[in-house]
Chain A
Amino acid sequence: MRRHRLRWWEALPWIAGLAFYFAFPDYLGFGCDLLVTILFALSLDLALGYAGIITLGHGAFFGVGAYTVGMLASYNIWTEPITGLLLAAAVAGVIGFLSGLVLLRTTGLTLLMLTLCTMTLLYEAANMAAAYTGGFDGLPSLPISPVFGVFEFNPLYADTQYLFALGVILVCFIFVRILVYSPFGQSLTGIRENVLRMHAIGSPVRRRLIVCYTISAALAGVAGGLSAQTTAFVNLAVLGLDRSATVLIVLILGGYGRLYGAFIGAVVYLALEHFLAQIYPAAWQLGLGIVLVLIALFARNGILGLGETLWQRFGPRRAAP
């Protein structure tokens, strides 16, 4: 019951994030990608890992966030980055809420298909509205105002972008962390663990799920908006199945329902992608596939779950019998 207390190692990801900034100044663009992926995975963890909402279409909200920021900037309507992200969150949240009202009546495969359909619909809508969205070519060279009116986004050197992204995911992470340890977060876990029992103790299950889905969608919207800001670019790929599948793999790798699974998973995934692509440029996805099979066979709860098991077995505090 004291799990909400901060532990010392929870500072590590943020120290690592800062260290990366100083150690790899030439890779800050890659660093931004990593941070965006972490945030996106975190948003999915809330819905999938905590509440057990099976979705393959979370990219829908990422894309909505990206296009919100992208279109507002591209037409010079709104270029301020922080409020831009809030707008992205709001639009994605509204779409999450509306689709959740319908989708969350279903479960399992039906739900999976419907989330996928939602994303495909948005993809097609963005494609058809090419006059506004830039269609397949997208919206390039988005103008983004300086952060706090001072720190300019540098198109060649991603230092401002990186620190901004790090700050944004820190804020989002604190929010998610508070949420998952709250009574509301506990009840989401209850829904995932045994939804029939939740009904039987009088829990308004569907309302909780809709709230969770809306928040998760808003966070995915922030991730999408951040992606548009840090790359100064949006195209249809943000609404593609690829990204949704990737983020799912990230969570499975890292361990879902664990808060830090998103971090570990994103780092491992991008590292694997990077190194495997160097060694086997043509077949790196094969290597990724093998890793996933190993995870599925030997570490159902991802790398973090595996770590917990090993810690319980060999760590200093022996687990209770």
Chain B
Amino acid sequence: MSEIRLETQGLSRHFGALVAVQGVDFKLGVGARHALIGPNGAGKTTFINLLTGVLPATRGRVLLSGRDISATVQAERVKLGIARTFQINRLFRGLSVLENVCMAVAERVGTAGAMFYPAGRRTDIIDESIQLLQTLKLADAARHRVSELPYGRQRLVELAIAIGLRPEVLLLDEPAAGVPSAESHIILDAIEGLPEHIAVLIIEHDMDVVFRFAKRVTVMVSGAIFAEGTPREIEANPQVREVYLGQAGHAATARAHHG
């Protein structure tokens, strides 16, 4: 692994008596393709919420390119280059697909606060957004209201918004969850087509996807890191298998679905 982009040191988050994330030391290198797996309720989403600043950490630090951003608010972290998608869609449902993406692009470019000209006149922002939609095969739906799209395509909009921020670190929380397998390849292709230098962390239950995409895998159980290694090492790890089988095979079902 080359230069480290994102790092956590002893990161913990408590919800009352529940310890959702527990002393996590984690490193994400420049250009990483890293998968985070673990049973339901393991704390994966909470971990991402800590990285992005949605939640403050109870203990520990988050470093971006060596700089401590633990006290930085969410919007500032986005400006520093951390973007994410949500496990459950969080979109501007009443707006068109194009407007959803433009919102993110305008915010990145720094024109979103401008008051005295029409948003529609920023053709640079609109063109960039349309191009992005084309790469995600969403261009035909650009003018449709998000709430009119099937869930699978809404997931793509979720991804488009994050990519539109041109992040250095991209955190994907089960990007293909709820997407019919006929469409999930579009999402996976899009993720594979991301610029090399972006550090990508993907939470994913489907082991096929993990194998196809990830160069490293971290297994999280009960808020703590349980194992870490290459996909092959993780698959061969008997304890990891036990965790998954003991949980009635989340991964196994997902795989059966796929094959």
Contact of B112 among A1, A178, A183, A196 (CB under 8 A): A183
Asked if A182 meets B116 with Cβ closer than 8 Å, knowing A201-B103, A202-B75, A320-B144, the reply is yes
CA distance A202 to B84 in the complex (A): 11
Is the beta-carbon distance between B120 and A200 smaller than 8 angstroms?
no
A184 in the interface (beta carbon within 8 A): yes
B176 in the interface (beta carbon within 8 A): no
Please indicate the chain A residues that have their CB under 8 angstroms from the CB of B161 in the complex: 197, 201
Is the beta-carbon distance between B75 and A1 smaller than 8 angstroms?
no
Nearest A-chain residue to B165, judged by Cβ = A201
Please indicate the chain A residues that have their CB under 8 angstroms from the CB of B78 in the complex: 200-202
Asked if A320 meets B143 with Cβ closer than 8 Å, knowing A184-B112, A193-B93, A201-B103, the reply is yes
Is the beta-carbon distance between A183 and B90 smaller than 8 angstroms?
no
B193 in the interface (beta carbon within 8 A): no
B151 in the interface (beta carbon within 8 A): no
CA distance A189 to B92 in the complex (A): 9
Nearest A-chain residue to B129, judged by Cβ = A1
A278 in the interface (beta carbon within 8 A): no
CA distance A181 to B106 in the complex (A): 14
B234 in the interface (beta carbon within 8 A): no
Is the beta-carbon distance between B93 and A194 smaller than 8 angstroms?
yes
Rounded to whole Å, the gap between the CB of B232 and the closest CB of chain A is 34
Stretch from A108-116, A203-211, A220-228, A236-244 that touches the partner: A203-211
Is the beta-carbon distance between A4 and B120 smaller than 8 angstroms?
yes
**Chain A interface SS verdict (over half):** helix
Please indicate the chain B residues that have their CB under 8 angstroms from the CB of A194 in the complex: 90-93
A2 in the interface (beta carbon within 8 A): yes
Asked if A179 meets B115 with Cβ closer than 8 Å, knowing A187-B106, A187-B107, the reply is yes
As a 0/1 sequence over residues 87 to 127 of chain A, the CB contacts with chain B under 8 angstroms (1 = contact) are 00000000000000000000000000000000000000000
B191 in the interface (beta carbon within 8 A): no
Among B150-173, those with CB < 8 Å from A are 161, 165
A3 in the interface (beta carbon within 8 A): yes
B218 in the interface (beta carbon within 8 A): no
Contact of B119 among A183, A193, A197, A205 (CB under 8 A): A183
Among A1-31, those with CB < 8 Å from B are 1-4
CA distance A205 to B113 in the complex (A): 10
Please indicate the chain A residues that have their CB under 8 angstroms from the CB of B90 in the complex: 194, 196-197, 200
Rounded to whole Å, the gap between the CB of A155 and the closest CB of chain B is 39
CA distance A204 to B76 in the complex (A): 8
As a 0/1 sequence over residues 91 to 129 of chain B, the CB contacts with chain A under 8 angstroms (1 = contact) are 111110011001110111001111111111110001000
Rounded to whole Å, the gap between the CB of B211 and the closest CB of chain A is 29
Is the beta-carbon distance between B75 and A193 smaller than 8 angstroms?
no
A190 in the interface (beta carbon within 8 A): yes
Asked if A186 meets B119 with Cβ closer than 8 Å, knowing A1-B98, A320-B144, the reply is yes
Is the beta-carbon distance between B119 and A4 smaller than 8 angstroms?
yes
Is the beta-carbon distance between A182 and B114 smaller than 8 angstroms?
yes
Contact of B106 among A178, A183, A197 (CB under 8 A): A183
Query: Which residues of A does B touch, CB under 8 Å?
Result: 1-4, 178-179, 181-187, 189-190, 193-194, 196-205, 208, 320
Other A-B pairs beyond A178-B116, A190-B103, 12, CB < 8 Å = A1-B126, A4-B121, A181-B120, A182-B117, A182-B118, A187-B112, A187-B113, A189-B94, A193-B94, A197-B92, A202-B79, A203-B112
Q: Can you identify 12 A-B contacts, CB atoms within 8 angstroms?
A: A1-B102, A1-B126, A178-B118, A179-B115, A182-B114, A183-B119, A186-B106, A189-B92, A190-B103, A194-B91, A197-B91, A200-B74
Query: Which residues of B does A touch, CB under 8 Å?
Result: 52, 54, 74-76, 78-79, 83-84, 86, 90-95, 98-99, 102-104, 106-108, 111-122, 126, 143-144, 161, 165
Nearest 4 Cβ contacts at the A-B interface: A202-B78, A4-B118, A193-B92, A1-B120
